[in-house]
Structure 1
């Protein structure tokens, strides 16, 4: 019997994943990851990780598998929380869920599991793993989950071949309603538990509140940029190369106070992110205001009216070599090469047609249709068919 250690989160997905593994004949061990116990930042008196670890323990008991808790809060603080604050202070918007998977679940946690003699680590993600043979070697594929509505492959876009080789995703072939149904039949305590919202693993912590407790408030102004601003008037450009054109398309516009009018005040540019509509507290506009850019150095938020504001849209983005990651190393592009892919710049976004252009300093992703709120610090992931082959941090 091969031994599998599964991360039991106290949710329905990992509970059913554990059951399926047992049915498939694996020796299953449940581990609950405790990633946070700083009570100063939870926003309610509920103690989410205690409830969750209790539920995980009850599930393990019901399934008849050994269970223990591991405390990874130190690594979590160092690798996720500190990184996040650092990014926010630079005016970038990180994705904690993607980082959690790369740094905690499939690294720190995986090492603990392998030390326990595990052959594999399993999670309750809605995605699938494929294996193909290439030049006599096994190549592992990260495939989208069967449930289009729940596909979570995006969150695993930073995994390596080595991490994938030791991973199992038991519920990837199922839809969420099917997973709930199995949990009901087994009478698991997690059967109708709501999906967790909030910061990955920390439980009921809302990101803005969490940030506000850590990053000092600093009053600044909110500026509204009109749609007609000269910055948006496209003039005929003659580019000497594709790279020059891509550089132009992916450029960050340089907003100044005089480009618009001051319409309000805020408590810190680092609390806001591109595309954000809520929390600005500015009324009286015909269409709602959206954040089109933040300047953390000058502490200014630039906004525009309406979803269609030109300041929200760009048709290309850039990823530096240092932040470029191929799950499928064998498909990696060389300088000058291009590849047509489907890509997304956020979880839950429909896949969009795009072309990858590899240049000496990194890679451009050029979209067929302009994309709204391309945000520095977030991840872009690209697919061939239903296989996620690579990703990068938007620079």
Structure 2
């Protein structure tokens, strides 16, 4: 019997994953990851780890599988929380869930599981894995979950072939309602439990409160940039080559306070992210204000009225060479090569047609349609059909 260690999170998805593996004849062990225990920054008692670990234990008991808890809070703080503070400080918006999978679940946790003699690690992610053979080698494909509504492949966009080789995703072929139905039939305590919200493992967090632990509030101004600003009405130059055109189209507009009017104050540009609408506290505009850019150096937030404001839209983004990641290393582009893909710049976004262009310094992703709020620090992930091929940090 192959041994599988399931990351039991205390939610319905990992509970059913453990059950399915047991049914398939694996020796299953449940392991709960304790990654955070600073309750001072969570809102109410929405997602305390204590309840989750208790639920995970009850599920393991019900399924008749061994259970234990591992404390990874030190690694989580180092690899996720400190990274987040660092990124916000630079004015970027990190995605802790993607990092958490790459750094914690499929790295630190996986190493512990393999040390415990596991052949595989399993999670309750809605995605699928397939193995193909190419030139005598096994290649692992990461595919979208069968439930298009719940597909979580995006969160795993930074996994490697080595990590995929040791991973199982037992619920990838199921829909959420089917998973809940199985849990209800088994009378598992997690059957009707709400999906956890908020930061991976920390729960529902007031982000400014969380960030204020390290990034001190600092008063600055909110500036509204009108649509009539000349930056949106420049004539497009003629380009010598495609790379020059892509560089031009991916460029960030640069604003100064003189480009608009001061409409309010804020407590720190690093608490805000592009595309954000809530939390600005400015009224009296015809349409709601959206953040179109943040300047953490001068502590200014630039905004525009309405979700169609031109400051929100761009067609091309860039990923620095060292931040490009191919799950399918065999399909990696060489300089001057391009590839047609479907891509997304955030979880839950519908896939959009795009072309990848590899250049010396990195990778341009050119979308067919304009994209709203392309945000530095987030991940762009690219697919062909339902296979996720790679990803990168938007620079």
Normalised to the residue count of structure 2, the TM-score between the two structures is 0.99
- The aligned runs of 1:103-182 (5 Å cut-off) are 103-182=103-182
Q: Distance in 1 between matches of 2:390 and 2:229?
A: 37
Per-residue deviation at 1:38?
1.9
Asked if the contact 1:48–1:204 (Cα under 8 Å) also holds between the matched residues in 2, the reply is no
Q: For residues 54-91 of structure 1, what are the alpha-carbon distances to aligned partners after superposition, in whole Å with 9 as ceiling and x for unaligned?
A: 00000000000000000000000000000000000000
Per-residue deviation at 1:126?
0.1
Q: Distance in 2 between matches of 1:18 and 1:393?
A: 32
1:389 aligns with 2:389: yes
Q: What residue in structure 1 maps to residue 318 of structure 2?
A: 318
Q: What residue in structure 1 maps to residue 297 of structure 2?
A: 297
Q: Distance in 1 between matches of 2:274 and 2:118?
A: 42
Q: What residue in structure 2 maps to residue 76 of structure 1?
A: 76
Per-residue deviation at 1:237?
1.2
SS in 2 for 1:159: coil
- The aligned runs of 1:22-61 (5 Å cut-off) are 22-45=22-45, 48-61=48-61
SS in 1 for 2:213: helix
SS in 2 for 1:214: coil
Q: What residue in structure 2 maps to residue 331 of structure 1?
A: 331
Q: Distance in 2 between matches of 1:284 and 1:370?
A: 29
Q: Which moved more, 1:40-49 or 1:81-90?
A: 40-49
Q: For residues 31-51 of structure 1, what are the alpha-carbon distances to aligned partners after superposition, in whole Å with 9 as ceiling and x for unaligned?
A: 000001123323325671000
Per-residue deviation at 1:215?
1.5
Q: Which moved more, 1:33-42 or 1:340-349?
A: 33-42
Q: What residue in structure 1 maps to residue 214 of structure 2?
A: 214
SS in 2 for 1:247: helix
Asked if the contact 1:199–1:206 (Cα under 8 Å) also holds between the matched residues in 2, the reply is no
SS in 2 for 1:190: coil
Asked if the contact 2:41–2:206 (Cα under 8 Å) also holds between the matched residues in 1, the reply is no
Q: Which moved more, 1:277-286 or 1:206-215?
A: 206-215
Which stretches in structure 1 are left out of the alignment for 5+ residues?
none
Asked if the contact 2:43–2:206 (Cα under 8 Å) also holds between the matched residues in 1, the reply is yes
In the alignment of these two chains, the number of paired residues is: 395
Per-residue deviation at 1:209?
2.4
Q: Distance in 2 between matches of 1:98 and 1:357?
A: 24
Which stretches in structure 2 are left out of the alignment for 5+ residues?
none
SS in 2 for 1:278: coil
Per-residue deviation at 1:202?
1.3
Q: Distance in 1 between matches of 2:219 and 2:140?
A: 49
Per-residue deviation at 1:381?
0.1
Asked if the contact 2:145–2:172 (Cα under 8 Å) also holds between the matched residues in 1, the reply is yes
Asked if the contact 1:199–1:207 (Cα under 8 Å) also holds between the matched residues in 2, the reply is no
Q: Distance in 2 between matches of 1:236 and 1:97?
A: 38
Q: For residues 106-129 of structure 1, what are the alpha-carbon distances to aligned partners after superposition, in whole Å with 9 as ceiling and x for unaligned?
A: 000000000000000000000000
Asked if the contact 1:93–1:273 (Cα under 8 Å) also holds between the matched residues in 2, the reply is yes
